[in-house]
A and B are shown apart, each in its own frame.
Chain A
Amino acid sequence: QKEVEQDPGPLSVPEGAIVSLNCTYSNSAFQYFMWYRQYSRKGPELLMYTYSSGNKEDGRFTAQVDKSSKYISLFIRDSQPSDSATYLCAMQTDSWGKLQFGAGTQVVVTP
Chain B
Amino acid sequence: DAMVIQNPRYQVTQFGKPVTLSCSQTLNHNVMYWYQQKSSQAPKLLFHYYDKDFNNEADTPDNFQSRRPNTSFCFLDIRSPGLGDAAMYLCATSTTRPEEEKLFFGSGTQLSVL
Interface residues of A (CB under 8 A from B): 4, 8, 32, 34, 36, 41-46, 49, 88, 95-96, 98-99, 101-104
Contact = CB atoms under 8 A, between A and B. Distances in A.
Interface string B35-54: 00000111101000000000
A45 B103 CA distance: 8
Nearest to A100: B42
A97 to B, nearest CB: 9
A7 to B, nearest CB: 12
Contacts of B103: 44, 46, 99
B41 A103 contact: yes
A34 B102 contact: yes
Interface residues of B, number: 21
Interface of B: 4, 6, 40-43, 45, 88, 90, 92, 96, 98, 101-108, 110
B45 A98 contact: yes
Given A44-B103, A101-B42, 16 more contacts: A8-B40, A32-B101, A41-B107, A41-B108, A42-B108, A43-B92, A43-B105, A44-B90, A46-B102, A49-B102, A95-B98, A96-B101, A99-B45, A102-B42, A103-B40, A103-B41
B75 to A, nearest CB: 17
Contacts of B40: 8, 103-104
A104 to B, nearest CB: 7
A44 B106 CA distance: 8
Nearest to A49: B102
Dominant secondary structure at the A interface: loop
A103 B43 CA distance: 8
A96 B48 CA distance: 12
A101 B101 contact: no
